[in-house]
A = this chain, B = another copy of it.
Amino acid sequence: MLPFARISIIGVGLIGSSLARAIRANMPTVRLTGHDADPAVRDIARRIDLFDDVADSAGAAVTDADIVILCVPVRAMGSVAREIADDLPADAIISDVGSCKAEILASLTAALPGRTIIPAHPVAGTENSGPEAGFATLFNGRWCIMTPPADADPTAVERVAELWRRVGAQVETMDAAHHDLVLAVTSHLPHLIAYTIVGTAGDLESVTRSEVIKYSAGGFRDFTRIAASDPTMWRDVFLSNKDAVLEMLQRFSEDLTALQRAIRWGDGDALFDLFTRTRAIRRSIIDEGQDDPAPDFGRKHV
């Protein structure tokens, strides 16, 4: 049995459009409605036929929904929730795909008191943005973390979990605060560091930008991928998950200082020990199917 017959997606970027495609591919009988605040995005969504119906307002997109999934930047969640409040069917579930669950849960609860709110976060993406960047297999084998409130209806939680399993994800549940700490280290800190180093490299007087680009295959280019991610989405993530990000950043800075000291003092053993330990983590990620086993991420060398 399908978990939902009528699904509305608000926000048609990489994740919203991938979810629409994945639902079409895996549950073709679901009636899909979409809306994006940007009229140009709505036009594209219509042209490439992402939904059965593209509504011109968020309210109109939710009137007959069984579930509404908000796929907008973290700090836009509250206002979108307020926009749909009057049109939302009484028994509809509200969910989202945002990267910072504590703040989102608070803002959705404030905007939609008494409603069934079941937040979720599919840990998947690419550096590309917009309705044409999405693809149906984005969630295959990835984890979707659900952070239902303590008093959430178990049936509603299970229906949302089943939706994510149907589009290829594995589902895990934890509380919002722990989610935000885990994602601070597995996603937010890596993005922050990538943005920083790409900024640093683009802004040196002793090495030209052209040299940085030419010789980027020495390792730097890896960081430019996630540093090309959507600026609005990521600004919101750092503002929203501030405390956890600052905590992880503090830990990282301490470790970086220790390594800096090892280099300054020529402590080769300390360097070698760390460089050996880190190899094992890569191995585990590949063993658990969370990265491509091919060398160099499977980049083409032709």
Q: Which of the segments A26-34, A82-90, A261-269 contacts the partner chain?
A: A261-269
Q: Which of the segments A36-44, A62-70, A215-223 contacts the partner chain?
A: A215-223
Q: Which of the segments A101-109, A112-120, A193-201 contacts the partner chain?
A: A193-201
Distance between Cα atoms of A220 and B135 in the complex (Å): 22
Cβ of A57 within 8 Å of any chain B Cβ, yes or no, is no
Distance between Cα atoms of A202 and B190 in the complex (Å): 14
Q: Which of the segments A3-11, A47-55, A152-160, A204-212 contacts the partner chain?
A: A204-212
Q: Is the CB of B133 within 8 A of A196?
A: no
Q: Is the CB of B228 within 8 A of A283?
A: yes
Q: Is the CB of A246 within 8 A of B227?
A: no
The residues of B that contact A199 with a CB separation of less than 8 Å are 255, 274, 277-278
Cβ of A249 within 8 Å of any chain B Cβ, yes or no, is yes
Q: Is the CB of B290 within 8 A of A214?
A: yes
Q: Is the CB of A187 within 8 A of B215?
A: yes
Cβ of A72 within 8 Å of any chain B Cβ, yes or no, is no
Distance between Cα atoms of A302 and B145 in the complex (Å): 20
Q: Is the CB of B282 within 8 A of A266?
A: no
Closest chain-B Cβ to A267's Cβ sits at a distance in Å of: 9
Q: Is the CB of A216 within 8 A of B285?
A: yes
Distance between Cα atoms of A196 and B185 in the complex (Å): 12
Given known contacts A123-B217, A187-B218, A239-B271, A256 and B288 CB-to-CB distance under 8 angstroms: no
For A296, the closest partner residue in chain B by CB is B126
Closest chain-B Cβ to A204's Cβ sits at a distance in Å of: 7
Cβ of A124 within 8 Å of any chain B Cβ, yes or no, is yes
Which of B203, B221, B256, B282 is close to A290, meaning CB atoms less than 8 Å apart?
Answer: B221
Q: Is the CB of A204 within 8 A of B297?
A: no
Q: Is the CB of B140 within 8 A of A275?
A: no
Quick one: which of A99, A236, A246, A290 has the most chain B CB within 10 A?
A290
Closest 9 A-B residue pairs measured CB to CB? A187-B218, A231-B275, A228-B282, A190-B219, A297-B297, A126-B295, A227-B278, A224-B282, A198-B278
Given contacts A225-B297, A239-B263, A297-B299, 5 further A-B contacts (CB under 8 A): A123-B217, A182-B212, A190-B219, A246-B263, A298-B298
